[in-house]
Amino acid sequence: MNPLSYLSAKTAVRLSPIHGRGLFATADIAKHEIVAIKGGHIVTREQLREITPRLGPVEIQIDGDLFITPVTDDEREGSMLYSNHSCDANLGIRGEITFVAMRDIRVGEELTHDWATTDDDNYSMKCKCGALDCRGTLTGKDWQRPELQKRYAGFFSAYLAKKIARMNKRR
Ligand SMILES: C[S@@+](CC[C@H](N)C(=O)[O-])C[C@H]1O[C@@H](n2cnc3c(N)ncnc32)[C@H](O)[C@@H]1O
Ligand SMILES: [Zn+2]
């Protein structure tokens, strides 16, 4: 079966110092190059509640109440991107499902995205990214932080970029 997601030929999944398995660069990657495209089914938050206990954290949020995710055990591996979160991420989002390099990336680097660029949710969790400027605790509302809006400008998921523009217009 063809995998649901696309992973660049310049990537490989390996054990990660951040968590479990992670995605790594097997060759240099240039800024703006496409690294991965998430594939899966589009489901609501309500539907996701039934999927997460079976498959774990496998989804990417693509709007306030919409997620792209594998639905069956057979689809899981081919949909996983294995990109861990880092507070010093090197991947950003183009549109809602395309992960691109935010800067030139060297062979061997772990490929990470900052969940602030994809998530609008209500969680709070300890971060183990190990970055010098790790924020320690991650929340589903980190996209609202002005310093992150500045840092990841142009690399937020499209639905969050719209929210950020609206939020800052009101100020
Ligand atoms: C989609 S998975 C990423 C791949 C995962 N490492 C694996 O082996 O399946 C997302 C999960 O990885 C873990 N994770 C990723 N980045 C993390 C971080 N910076 N700190 C703590 N846990 C992290 C969390 O358990 C999170 O729910
Ligand atoms: Zn961190």
H-type helices in the chain, by residue range? 45-55, 73-79, 146-151, 158-169
pTM equals 0.97
127's tokens:
């971060």
Domain count, the chain: 1
Query: Average of pLDDT values for 31-41?
Result: 98
Pocket test for ligand 1, best of 15, 16, 19 (most atoms within 8 A of CB): 19
Closest-lying ligand 1 atom to the alpha carbon of residue 81: 1
User: Helices H, strands E: what count in the chain?
Assistant: 4, 12
Summarised one tens digit per residue, pLDDT across range 80-124 is 999 999 999 999 999 999 999 999 999 999 999 999 999 999 999
Counting ligands in written order, the one closest to the CA of 128 is 1
Give how far Cα 160 sits from Cα of 18, 34, 98, Å.
Answer: 25, 20, 14
What letter would DSSP give residue 71?
Answer: -
170 Cα distance to chain centroid: 28
The answer to whether residue 1 sits within a structural domain is: no
126 part of a folded domain? yes
pLDDT digits (tens, 9 = 90+) for 123-159: 999 999 999 999 999 999 999 999 999 999 999 999 9
Which of 85, 110, 138, 142 to probe ligand 1 with, by most ligand atoms within 8 A of CB? 85
Q: Is residue 146 part of a domain?
A: yes
Q: Which residues contact 50 (CB under 8 A, 6 or more apart)?
A: none
Single out the residue of 146, 152, 148 nearest to residue 171, CA to CA.
Answer: 146
Residue 47 lies in a domain: yes
| 156 falls within a domain | yes
Q: What is the CATH number of the domain that holds 81?
A: 2.170.270.10
Q: Which domain holds residue 89?
A: 6-169
How far apart (Å, rounded) are the C-alpha atoms in residues 48 and 98?
Answer: 21
Q: Is residue 20 part of a domain?
A: yes
In angstroms, rounded to a whole number, what is the distance separating the alpha carbons of residues 113 and 171?
28
In a domain, 52, yes or no: yes
In this prediction, residue 170 has a pLDDT band, given cuts at 50, 70 and 90, of confident
Q: Tell me the pLDDT of the chain averaged across its residues.
A: 97
Nearest ligand (C-alpha, residue 132): 2
* Cα–Cα distance list, 154 to 5, 54, 103, 116 (Å): 23, 34, 12, 13
Within 6 A (CB) of ligand 1 lie 16, 18-22, 57, 82, 84-85, 127-129
Helix ranges restricted to H, 80-170: 146-151, 158-169
Sign of the alpha-carbon torsion through 109, 114, 117, 118? positive
